[in-house]
Chains A and B, each alone.
Chain A
Amino acid sequence: MALTALICDDSLLARNQLKKSLPADFDANIITASNGLEALAMLRTQEVGIVFLDLTMPELDGIGVLEAIKSEGMDCLVIVVSADIQPEMQKRVMDLGALAFIQKPANAAKLTDVMHKYGLI
């Protein structure tokens, strides 16, 4: 069964950019959410293997999503894809259990590297 990947970003352009930057051999069923609350609702009801998570979002931001994933012990991998590139913010997301931090707009080669490293492709 193919993996389910969740792309969570408030911007349609950003979601589309990320979809297009994913490696061609990434065999996954892709679902999307436009804020953190929507993402959590999906994570609680569906089996999601990997989340591509934006940080700056309305309703609930990416940090809030990472905190919920951690406190609820959800079994999913998270790659943060954000424009908020402050060193302190990168450290914070890694401390909350993210696999990697990728600067927006996501670079396809970097994305492929990270996904390869964690056996997603």
Chain B
Amino acid sequence: MTDFSFSEEQRDGLQELVNIAMGLASDKLARYLNTLVHLQVPAIKLVKTDYLPTHFANRYPQQSMTMISLGFFGDHGLRGETIMLYQLANVDTIAKLLGYNNDDSSEAEMLTDISSILTTTFLNGLAEQLENNFSYAAPRILSSRDQHFAEKLASTAKQWQLALQVDIRYQLIDYSFNCDMILLIPGEAVLRLRVILDKILANF
């Protein structure tokens, strides 16, 4: 069986690249909302994808949540999918901040906007650090109010061999909201990512 694990140096390197990408995304969010976003060290962890549905069931017990997934495709076979998970209570907070109305169609619109600020900026920043170029698929929105949410999340996760779990907390001065971001990367892209990381690490 192929070993998809990361060495401590590779994990540290990736965490730093994620940190730089998060800085860009937070800056964009801060400018958009005209506030200061408190950044924390991104906790990143490589996990098996079959662990994700249970992880999220435990993390959000009896809470309504929405997920937005965005597929990305880079050069040299580097590709994957990001999943952002929001608690619906947090979505209301962001909706108020952005001045959206409280109906379902604009909620979808708003989540797509936020996703583009946070996810696309993040991924563009990450691609730049990796000296790669990403292109994106159209975002998919899935709500826990939809039927078979858990199954859909499980089947999305199952398509990939490894998940890079990035726990992010965006804390604003007057408001606070959490969202989790998961980077899902297929096995061959993990191997590719390791080669790129080793190249970066070898420069220093």
Interface of A toward B, CB cutoff 8 Å: 10-14, 16-17, 19-20, 55-58, 82-89, 104-105
- Residue from A14, A20, A84 within 8 A of B26 (CB atoms): A84
Known contacts A11-B15, A13-B204, A20-B204; A86/B30 CB under 8 A? yes
Nearest B residue to A18, CB-CB: B204
Interfacial chain B residues near A56, Cβ < 8 Å: 19, 23, 39-41
Nearest CB of B to A98, in Å: 17
A11-B12 in contact (CB<8A):
yes
Is B114 interfacial (CB 8 A cutoff)?
A: no
Partner of A85, one of B16, B17, B24, B200: B24
A11 pairs with B19, CB closer than 8 A: yes
Say whether B187 faces chain A, with CB atoms less than 8 Å apart.
no
Which residue on B lies nearest to A15, using beta carbons? B204
Interface: B36 (CB within 8 A):
yes
B49 to chain A, nearest CB (A): 26
Nearest CB to that of A103 among chain B residues?
B23
Contact of B204 among A16, A55, A57 (CB under 8 A): A16
Q: Are A17 and B36 in contact (CB under 8 A)?
A: no
14 contacts between A and B (CB under 8 A): A13-B13, A13-B17, A13-B204, A17-B204, A20-B203, A82-B23, A83-B20, A84-B26, A85-B23, A85-B24, A85-B27, A86-B30, A88-B36, A104-B23
Question: Contact at A12–B41, with CB atoms within 8 Å?
Answer: no
| Cβ-based interface call for B184 (8 A) | no
| Number of A-B residue pairs with CB-CB distance less than 8 Å in the complex they form | 61
| B109 interface residue (CB < 8 Å to A) | no
Query: How many of chain B's residues have a CB under 8 angstroms from any CB in A?
Result: 25
> What is the distance, in angstroms, from B123's C-beta to the closest C-beta of chain A?
15
- Contact residues in B for A13 (Cβ distance below 8 Å): 9, 12-13, 16-17, 200-201, 204
Most buried by B among A10, A13, A14, A88: A13
Q: Tell me, in angstroms, the Cα distance from A73 to B27 when the chains sit together.
A: 31
Chain B, 8-36, contact with A by CB distance < 8 Å: what is the 0/1 string? 01001101110110111011001100001
Instruction: Tell whether B193 is near chain A: CB-to-CB under 8 Å.
Output: no
- Decide if A14 touches B41 in the complex (CB within 8 Å): no
- Cβ of A12 and Cβ of B12 under 8 Å apart? yes
Let me know if B163 is at the binding interface, CB within 8 A.
no
- The CA-CA distance from A10 to B201 in the complex, in Å, is 16
For A58, the closest partner residue in chain B by CB is B41
User: Closest residue to B30 on the A side, CB-wise?
Assistant: A86
B9's nearest neighbour on chain A, judged by CB, is: A12
* Chain A residues in 8 Å Cβ range of B16: 11, 13-14
Cβ of B189 under 8 Å from chain A = no
| Other A-B pairs beyond A84-B27, A86-B30, 20, CB < 8 Å | A11-B13, A12-B12, A12-B13, A13-B12, A55-B39, A56-B23, A56-B40, A57-B41, A82-B23, A83-B19, A83-B39, A84-B39, A85-B23, A86-B27, A86-B31, A87-B30, A88-B36, A104-B23, A105-B20, A105-B129
Contact B30 A10 (CB under 8 A): no
